[in-house]
Structure 1
């Protein structure tokens, strides 16, 4: 192997930082509440905060050699359905029996006298997180890049193959009509967030409605935000996945919708520059598989036929455009001053062009 991680291990692993102003936890109340759970370990309990994220907040709790992650909703949040800690904890509890990559659930608290909100503790998985580019301390050969990305999608297939009954999730979510609800729901959300400079997605919405597949009957656990920066690789062996994070949008539905959403992030080497410039991971690196190769392997390993991937890929692109447009709408209307959002409209236009390209090439 050409990777040489040991001396760079500290740099490659996400490091928590000092808790951001206004997002502090009441440590006295937290220690008191957790004493029956953690025992004397609470006496030396310290807290740091993980950077990034626009949704739920994550903190690292440490006591000696012991570490846990605490997740809570953002301060000031009033939309409970968007930050349902109890639901996340139930998912982790169910997956703990059947999916070894999910963090282990430790404790759930719905007593708002402690932190003013629901929160939960889970195990801390320490390892490498890869984002838009490979970190400078991690050098993989083209063959290793290929192997790593195939592993990424193999684990997604493992999630989709989880026995719902064994996990106790057979009555979770609403799998019937899932595809229809997603297409109609994202169409409504996009239209509700349109700004003067937003692209016209009406032809894309019409195409998605026209090409919508009939119910496949295939139902599985779907992550709904599965991409490279939501998984963790071993610092000892960066080709070995050891964790999958961010389960807040998980449900039960058509696995191909999940695959399509991940492919929406997948900008490969022969894609137009207008799409590749917004890639979320190094999916155009030498050795990275193409979408066609990913889909063929996914179908072979899961046994799920994938003969209409253009629909799912186009939906994945449209969904990303909807997410981006919703955030940009808030910026354009003065609801947030975060300048990072100012150029999101350019990405939305890029996604519109990519949808056009997929539709023009499709044989559906």
Structure 2
């Protein structure tokens, strides 16, 4: 099954690390480590960067912020490590955090190191040797959504996690926050999103549907599948933006990435997960399934869908800002400005057809 495992590759130019200093630090925290580690980097990394530290007897994962300009409130590695440590006892799919470091202790930024959960990460396409039938694909899809629902149903008060959020008013904080982030990261070659932001402010619900633990970036390429049973989810990754908030906002974020088989060509080019496969639920089917399982009212999901697309555009623009200003040399970011403009038009199309 090794051919199905998610694999790292060479470190991208400009994103190298001082492996000697990292090794010294880790051995001071984990004395059982043996030998010199091999440093590689995982695909993705449009936001935080993920590296493999392959020791003779175990594999570790290092997470650090991107190089270049960063939004003030983004890429808080120590917060992510803290959240993961707090969640692990009540949500076992979280990897164990093994060490963390403040900026200037080892490198010029905060970072943390966690265990590696070896498995399949469903990125843009499933491994070629993994031949799932439409029925199996549908079950995999449901199993992934169920892990989000399971997170939303954790009793965060009983688990002592009330400190992770700011209480009621989550929806308004998100609309105000993402609006501010977009305005600060806007470059001259992208649209203003003025009509989209105005619509979201006018149509936001007067109160949150509920307050629960939310992931805020729950996607197929943030889950790990059991290589011996690829329909089973054994890990959930990337907890940087996890907090207490409205569960329908979390679902809206997830569906912004959900490219289905009948989407237009531009959406297909943006696809980063295998949601186009025969058997996968459509976005509307996901909404309906989620509503049935949770009991939340999802009859008119327009606000949450448009919010998810706007938020995705802001994230893409923050990344593009770094590329535009020469702070990142990752060539895959060159087209992000065009993606942002496309997402503005997609939002406006959804708004034109909305009944809200």
TM-score by length of 1: 0.87
Contact residue 132 and residue 282 of structure 1 kept, 8 A: yes
2:137 equivalent to 1:145: yes
Q: Does 1:273 align with 2:232?
A: no
How big is each residue's C-alpha offset from its partner over 1:47-67, in whole Å with a ceiling of 9 and x where there is no partner?
322233144333333444333
Q: 1:149 to 1:199 in 2, by over 3 A?
A: same
Residues 44-63 of structure 1 correspond to what in structure 2 (within 5 A)? 44-52=35-43, 53-63=45-55
Unaligned 5+ residue runs, structure 2? none
Residue 338 (structure 1) shift: 4.2
The 8 Å contact of residues 170 and 208 in structure 2, kept in 1 or not, is answered as no
The DSSP-based 3-state class of the residue aligned with 1:130 is coil
- Going from structure 1 to structure 2, the CA distance change for 1:119 and 1:270 (only over 3 Å counts) comes to closer
- Counterparts of 1:66 and 1:196, CA distance in 2: 47
The residue that corresponds to 2:306 in the other structure is 314
Query: In structure 2, which of residues 344, 347, 353 is the aligned counterpart of residue 355 of structure 1?
Result: 347
- What aligned pairs does 1:105-120 form with structure 2 within 5 A after superposition? 105-110=97-102, 112-120=104-112
| Cα deviation, residue 119, structure 1 | 3.1
CA gap of 1:341–1:117, structure 2 versus 1, over 3 A, is closer
TM-score when scaled to structure 2? 0.88
Residues 214, 136 of structure 1: CA spacing in aligned structure 2 closer, same or farther, 3 A cutoff? Answer: same
Determine the structure 1 residue equivalent to 2:17. 24
**Number of the residue aligned with 2:193:** 201
RMSD after superposition: 2.6
- Tell me how many residue pairs correspond in the alignment: 354
- Within a 5 Å distance, the mapping from 1:26-105 to structure 2 comes to 26-27=19-20, 29-35=21-27, 37-39=29-31, 41-52=32-43, 53-74=45-66, 81-105=73-97
Residues 345/71 of structure 1: CA separation in 2 closer, same or farther (3 Å cut): closer
Structure 2: how far apart are the matches of 1:161 and 1:265?
23
Alpha carbons of structure 1 residues 192 and 19: separation in structure 2 relative to 1, 3 Å: closer
Unaligned runs of 5+ in 1: 1-5
CA contact (8 A) 1:164 1:221 kept: yes
SS of corresponding position for 2:164? coil
2:288 corresponds to 1:296: yes
1:281 Cα deviation from its structure 2 partner: 1.8
1:158 aligns to what? Answer: 150
In structure 1, what is the Cα distance between the partners aligned to 2:158 and 2:332?
A: 43
CA distance in 1, matches of 2:117, 2:65: 20
Aligned residue for 1:175? 167
Task: Give the superposition deviation at 1:81.
Answer: 4.4
Flag the structure with larger Rg: 1
